[in-house]
Structure 1
């Protein structure tokens, strides 16, 4: 197995999918548990979480390391979540399809594109037409900060590349509006 490249302040688009593409979240309590474990991981192994989206069978995270490689906390996070999930539903075996994937992001443009991609994931999956309506994404926290996410999500870095929140919203929505099948495309 090839070792992942890592260095302090590196940005990664992390994805993890359910084994055989199976669901990894059956209900809201499962998603809350994942976020709770993610929050614990962030406090025990500090990193910045800039964007996330929890889909039914996979997750997207945009993280920036501080001084610990992502493997340190991702392995623990997914092991703890798999134990919770298997115990709750009476399953055994692997929950995730192999190790998580971590794509190193090389520049600001890539980081902004990944943040938009993560926030539009529910729209691409046709779960909603408006990303702000999807409850299990960090997007709504970008538009209107929520106390529930304030210690989990760092919005200031990405928003610093935009004049204001409305400009970031426009940046995300512009990509969404040109998607085939969107109601605004008539």
Structure 2
């Protein structure tokens, strides 16, 4: 049975998540994380998009992405194929790298946008990989926390919702305990 085509709204942000097949590891070492980020950059050069936040974990990843002229289907056909070819060649394996096709949730409100960005940046903390989000090297949090320039990340939209577009206010928001609604949205997204 053929998959149903998805309807996309260009210019709207989406929370994208992909998981390794059978929850297996898709990033084993630093070079793998770096390769994925390089592929995101190369894809951007061919099919521009806006990336607000990301977090690459060992067996899954999260992106808060806004397509401009091309649907996420076009973007992830390129991204997923490129990374799977790299991975299969490097680790001498065959078969599917990802579990199903990528998940994508339309982010249709300011509270959801901020909640998704918070969820993405706190992912390594929740997984107990680090105590503070700024210590995790494979997320976009340093672009907000340290105001470190990252050619992949655009912080303007997220920061525009805080007084004086201040990264300090965003950081306070990230470290504040999640509201019930934020937790409910995170739980809903992760349910199969």
TM-score by length of 2: 0.88
**Which residue in 2 is equivalent to 1:107?**
109
**Which residue in 2 is equivalent to 1:153?**
153
Among 25, 28, 39, the residue aligned to 2:30: 28
| Contact 2:147-2:167 within 8 A present in 1 as well | no
User: Partners of 1:131 and 1:175 in 2: how far apart?
Assistant: 14
Q: Which blocks of at least 5 consecutive residues in structure 2 are unaligned? A: 179-192
Displacement after TM superposition at 1:5 (Å): 2.2
**Which residue in 2 is equivalent to 1:118?**
120
Displacement after TM superposition at 1:7 (Å): 1.8
**Which residue in 2 is equivalent to 1:15?**
17
| Contact 1:7-1:67 within 8 A present in 2 as well | no
* Greater Cα offset, 3-12 or 109-118: 3-12
| Contact 1:24-1:95 within 8 A present in 2 as well | yes
Residues 73-115 of structure 1: CA deviation (Å, up to 9, x unaligned): 1111011100000100101111001111111111111100000
Aligned CA RMSD, in angstroms, stands at: 1.0
SS at match of 2:177: helix
Displacement after TM superposition at 1:129 (Å): 1.3
User: Partners of 1:5 and 1:105 in 2: how far apart?
Assistant: 14
User: Partners of 1:145 and 1:38 in 2: how far apart?
Assistant: 20
Displacement after TM superposition at 1:2 (Å): 3.0
Displacement after TM superposition at 1:146 (Å): 2.8
Q: Write out aligned runs for 1:1-186 (5 A).
A: 1-147=3-149, 149=150, 151-163=151-163, 164-175=166-177
Residues 105-132 of structure 1: CA deviation (Å, up to 9, x unaligned): 1111110000000000001101111000
SS at match of 1:15: strand
User: Partners of 1:25 and 1:41 in 2: how far apart?
Assistant: 19
User: Partners of 1:3 and 1:88 in 2: how far apart?
Assistant: 32
Q: Aligned residue pairs: how many?
A: 174
